Amino acid sequence: MRDVAIIGAGMIPFGRRDEDSLMDMLAYASLKALDDAGLGEKSVDAVYVGNMGGGIIQHQTSIASSLVDRLNLLPAAAETVENGPASGGSAVKNGLLAVASGYYDYVLVVGGEKMREVTGWRATDFVATMTHPQAEYPYGITLPGMAGMFTRLYMEKYGVTREHLLAVSLKNQEMGALNPYAHVEMTLDREGIFDSPHAVVNNPMAADPLHLYDMCPVSDGAAAIVLCPLEMAKKLAKPPILIAGFGQATDTHTLQERADPTDLKAVTLAAQKAFEMAKLKPSDIQVAELHDAFTILEIAESEHAGFFKKGEGGKAAAAGKTRFGGQLPINVSGGLKARGHPVGATGVAQVVDLTWQLRHELPKNRQVKNAQNGFSVNFGGFGNNVVAFVLRRVEQ
Amino acid sequence: MKKEIAIVGYKCKKCGKLHYPFHDRCLGCKGREFEKVKPQGKAKLLTFTRIYNLPWGFDQRYLTLGVAEFENGIKAMGQIDADEKTPLQMGMFMEPSWEPVRVQSGENVYGLKLTPLSA
């Protein structure tokens, strides 16, 4: 197996992009990554597109085939990868394996989703299609609803409080406000959403015990990377970012069939595999992008990935340990909470943000000083299909 | 024909592990033969939520949902018949019934409804 490096990274601002189609967004992000890689007119050997909802929302299938045609990357091999909200992470994994195997040299991976062209009612239903088709979906369960039930159990077992969730929300909104690619560039005020009469109006219950500002927004957006063998990447001007490790694991479809529904086994296993492959430990990581579709998930993932002991993640967030400048900055991009969550784009966007961090390309107010190793978790379903990556800066 | 979400437990004939929903291979021992088991008795509420942003197909202000465990060990999701003033807590007992849980193509779909019994 060959070592594989990221040589190009690109993203378009997430948010409500009424003027752009899904294909527009995928093309814009792809061109940014291709230009960043400095490939010029050279084509790529293969394209992997992470997308969850094109078939449902846009009534469009064979999206990767359309993209290579639009970008004139013909006759590159092209595939669309669908793995729910972990579609982006899965697309990156497919690109990584294709280059590592020696079959392809240059691969473009792009993730994108256009969710705002339908009503919230329809978008909520679209996301809920990942729940169990007989045992869950018919009852009207939503992903926020799954998160609400999980949060109640997690609070009971580990003593997570609303203060802990609030710390994640305030932190990620603060960082998102500094990120020009973020969907929600707005800081939040503790009093406005937590302990004042205004909070009842500003931050209503959404999926008990989770409130509106415990949720990520519904977003449009796309992000892309270009991969090639590390040995070839070393000849380029920018520092190559090695995909040092990846892991993927699955768990039961329904929460109720897990021996302990608070145990996110797939996160633990995916993270362990990624660290093992990278020959690194959680303590070697300087910056992490975790899948905070709901504030509780950042806390739970930070524990299951091995950064904090069970029951300590919420306290760590409240103590500022996961803030920019803290012991382990988590979601310096603003995370899904503020950067946004165009589902198929998220896993790729996390890798793009880490690439920028490890290249030391970000402005001072978001650049983790001298970051060498980064980590991401892309959480599919309700933890039933998880993809994790360890990225490492390679000095030339 | 009445549209119904049938809740049937599947007990592995090899190791006895109880499943719902159905799996082709046992989650415990990978056995492929199961005995069908109907849910029995009252149900204990394991967790719950009340959602205010509903999916397409639900034209109401909120929906209360939970996961409950029947006396014979089957665990299932259902809708909870409780308004905002009804206190709910994990561990309380619920009376199960099979009632309309949504409308599809103009027809009622029957599924698990849980009515709170006591704290």
- State the ipTM, two decimals: 0.96
| pLDDT for the residue A396 | 78
pLDDT in tens, A93-119: 999 999 999 999 999 999 999 999 999
- What CATH number matches the domain at A4-119+219-233, 3.60.20.10, 3.30.565.10, 3.30.1490.20, 3.40.47.10? 3.40.47.10
CA–CA distance, A53 with A344 (Å, rounded to integer) = 8
* Cβ within 8 Å, pair B19-A145: no
Would you state the pLDDT for residue A176?
Answer: 97
Identify the CA nearest to B101 among candidates B42, B60, B45.
Answer: B60
Say which of A138, A152, A206 has its CB closest to residue B111. A138
**Whole-number Å distance between alpha carbons of A146 and A381:** 10
Mutual orientation of helices A63-70 and A22-37 as an angle, nearest 10°? 60
Contact: A149, B66; criterion CB under 8 Å: yes
Q: Angle A213-A214-A220 (CA atoms, 0-180°, nearest 5)? A: 75
Chain B residues with beta carbon closer than 8 angstroms to that of A121: 54-56
User: Are B55 and A142 in contact (CB < 8 Å)?
Assistant: yes
- Distance from the A93 Cα atom to the nearest Cα atom in chain B, whole angstroms: 27
Asked whether the bond before B87 is cis by omega within 30 degrees of 0, the reply is no
Of B54, B77, B90, the CB nearest to A124: B54
Q: β-strand B63-70 against B43-51: which pairing, if any?
A: antiparallel
Measure in Å the smallest separation between the Cα of B53 and chain A Cα atoms: 7
In tens, the pLDDT along A5-46 reads 999 999 999 999 999 999 999 999 999 999 999 987 888 999
Confidence of residue A351 (pLDDT cuts 50, 70, 90): very high
d(CA A250, CA A308): 22
Tokens coding A272: 């362990």
**How confident is the model over A235-259, as a mean pLDDT?**
96
What is the percentage of chain A residues whose pLDDT exceeds 90? 96
- Best probe of the A interface among B77, B99, B102, by most A CBs < 10 A, is B77
What is the β-pairing status of strands B107-118 and B3-4? parallel
Cα–Cα distance measured from residue B36 to residue A65, given in angstroms and rounded to the nearest whole number? 45
Bridge-based pairing state of the strands B34-37 and B9-12: antiparallel
Q: What CA–CA distance (Å, rounded) separates B50 from B62?
A: 7
- Higher-pLDDT residue of A218 and B118 is A218
A13 alpha carbon, distance to own chain's centre: 15
pLDDT at A331 over 70: yes
Mean pLDDT of A233-253: 96
**Average of per-residue pLDDT values in chain A:** 97
The pLDDT, as a whole number, for residue A377 is 98
Q: What's the pLDDT score for residue A201?
A: 93
- Determine whether the interchain pair B21/A132 forms a contact, defined as Cβ–Cβ distance below 8 Å: yes
Cβ atoms of A45 and A29 within 8 Å: the answer is no
| CA-based nearest residue to A255, from A376, A168, A343, A143 | A143
| pLDDT on residue A42 | 83
DSSP A213-280: GGBPPB-EEEEEEEEEEHHHHTTSSSPPEEEEEEEEEE--SSGGGSSSTT--HHHHHHHHHHHHHHT-
* A175-205 exposure pattern, b = at least 16 Cβ within 10 A, e = fewer: bbebbebbbbbeebeeeebbeeeebeebbeb
Is A261 in contact with B20 (Cβ distance < 8 A)? no
> Are A257 and B48 an interchain contact pair (Cβ–Cβ within 8 Å)?
no
Which one of B27, B53, B84, B110 makes the best mutation probe of the A interface by having the most chain A beta carbons within 10 Å? B53
Q: In this complex, which of A138, A153, A254 lies closest to B102 when CB atoms are compared?
A: A138
- Report the pLDDT value the prediction gives residue A153, as an integer from 0 to 100: 98
Does the pLDDT of residue B119 top 70, yes or no? Answer: no
Tracing tokens 């729910």 back to the chain, one arrives at A84
Put simply, the answer to whether A139 touches B57 (Cβ < 8 Å) is no
The average pLDDT across A135-159 equals 97
Q: For chain A, first and last CA: distance in Å?
A: 21
Interface contact A142-B51, CB threshold 8 A = yes
Name the least confident of A169-183, B67-81, B103-117.
B103-117
Domain positions in chain A are 4-119+219-233
Amino acid A37 reads: A
The Cα A210–Cα A194 span in angstroms is 12
In the sheet that holds A46-50, the strands lie side by side as A77-81, A46-50, A107-114, A220-229, A4-11, A241-250, A385-393, A373-380, A287-289
Cβ pair A107, A73 in contact under 8 A:
no
Give the closest-approach CA distance of A257 to chain B in angstroms. Answer: 7
Contacts of A325 (CB under 8 A, 6+ apart): none
When scoring A125, A129, A208 by the number of chain B Cβ atoms within 10 A, the one with the most, hence best to mutate, is A208
Q: What is the pLDDT of residues B1-48, one digit of tens each?
A: 678 888 999 999 999 999 999 999 999 999 999 999 999 999 999 999
Q: Report pLDDT for B2.
A: 74
Residue B118 pLDDT grade (very low, low, confident, very high; cuts 50, 70, 90): low
Q: Quick one: angle between helices A143-158 and A295-304, nearest 10? A: 60
- To the nearest whole angstrom, how far is the Cα of A168 from the nearest Cα of chain B? 21
Interchain pair A139, B77: CB under 8 A: yes
User: Whole-angstrom Cα distance, residue A325 to residue A369?
Assistant: 9
How far is residue A377's CA from residue A93's CA, in Å, rounded to a whole number? Answer: 12
Between the alpha carbon of residue A25 and those of residues A22, A32, A35, A341, B27, the distances in Å are: 5, 11, 16, 14, 41
Cβ contact, residue pair B111, A139, below 8 Å: yes
